[in-house]
Amino acid sequence: MKRNLLLVSNSTLHGSGYLEHCQGDIKDFLGKEVKRVLFVPYALHDRDAYAKMARTKFNSLGYELDSIHEASDPVEAVRRAEGIFIGGGNTFRLLKCLYDNKLLPEIRKRVLEGGVPYLGSSAGTNVSTVSINTTNDMPIVCPPSLSAIGLVPFNINPHFLDPEPTSHHMGETREQRIRQYHEERDTPPVLALREGSMLLVSGNRATLLGTSRARLFIRGKPTVEYEPGSDLSFLLEEGL
């Protein structure tokens, strides 16, 4: 399998600018062979402004950026892409637009068979997985299915938050919600990425990068914490 993925929890980290905290990882990931990146801004309503922000950032890193919402044929844009970046925003809106434009099978084919690098941030990370069942977002629109692109055989919860010990908030924690998901049968593992963390996938190897730990939830098993640099390749095995 030729997949090359960089799945980032968040695009903006406290105290830094847009993609600033992971810009070195992005440059290492895309390398010098990729000259142009195809950006998918479907997760936000103002696609022009979103594309402008992303273009400014990628230009500063030495890459040209084309936004798929400006393409006359989105499917053909994916087929010609040297690299794909799907940004954050509302995951339901993003997935619905991917379905509406018939892009899920095209992206899957280009990444898994063609080896095109895939960069995801937040919602863009969510849609790279089995489904968007573990997103934090509100269902402001209704995609035809919650099934996503399926570049990896597990789910991710970006922006994972630990309970605040001094908080008086009595609502469910992020951990409780993920455990509720796993009360359903045949639910895949969930990798909870705290802000500042990201997962690099190269073929059948997966490595946790960034500055924060990640927590792994597997149905019926205790949760496990992983430090940056951990080898998580076992998550790529089907039927875990």
What CA–CA distance (Å, rounded) separates 168 from 178?
21
**3-state class of 136 per DSSP?**
coil
Q: pLDDT confidence of 14, banded at 50, 70, 90?
A: confident
User: Which of 146, 129, 108, 147 lies closest to 189, judged by CA?
Assistant: 129
Out of 67, 122, 128, 212, the active site residue is 122
What's the chain's average pLDDT?
95
Q: pLDDT confidence of 78, banded at 50, 70, 90?
A: very high
Per-residue pLDDT of 56-65, as tens digits, reads 999 999 999 9
User: Which of 166, 176, 136, 193 lies closest to 9, judged by CA?
Assistant: 193
What CA–CA distance (Å, rounded) separates 155 from 108?
16
User: Which of 131, 139, 141 lies closest to 190, judged by CA?
Assistant: 131
- Single-letter amino acid code for the residue at 186: D
Are residues 8 and 22 in contact, defined by beta-carbon separation less than 8 angstroms?
A: yes
- What percent of the chain clears pLDDT 70, i.e. is strictly above it? 98
- The yes-or-no answer on residue 14 being catalytic is no
Mean pLDDT of 171-197: 95
Out of 159, 182, 202, 230, the active site residue is 159
Strands (E), 125-204: 155-157, 190-193, 197-202
**3-state class of 39 per DSSP?**
strand
Q: What is the end-to-end Cα distance of the chain in Å, rounded?
A: 18
Pairing of strands 155-157, 214-217: unpaired
CA 27, 29, 32, 34 dihedral sign is negative
Per-residue pLDDT of 108-135, as tens digits, reads 999 999 999 999 999 999 999 999 999 9
- The yes-or-no answer on residue 121 being catalytic is no
- Residue 75, Cβ neighbours under 10 Å: how many? 15
- What percent of the chain clears pLDDT 90, i.e. is strictly above it? 90
What CA–CA distance (Å, rounded) separates 43 from 152?
20
- The yes-or-no answer on residue 159 being catalytic is yes
Domain range spanning residue 121? 4-236
Cβ neighbors of 192 (< 8 A, separation 6 or more) are: 156, 157, 160, 174, 175, 178, 214, 215, 216, 217
What is the CATH number for 219? 3.40.50.880
For the cut 90, the answer to whether the pLDDT of residue 165 exceeds it is no
For the cut 90, the answer to whether the pLDDT of residue 90 exceeds it is yes
User: Which of 225, 209, 206, 229 lies closest to 217, judged by CA?
Assistant: 225
For the cut 90, the answer to whether the pLDDT of residue 169 exceeds it is no
Question: What integer pLDDT is reported at residue 170 of this predicted model?
Answer: 64
Mean pLDDT of 158-163: 89
Out of 11, 131, 137, 197, the active site residue is 137
Q: Compute CA distances 68 → 30, 73, 75, 93, whole Å.
A: 19, 8, 9, 15
CB-neighbour burial class of residue 4 (10 A; exposed 0-12, middle 13-18, buried 19+): buried
Domains held by the chain: number? 1
Question: What integer pLDDT is reported at residue 238 of this predicted model?
Answer: 78
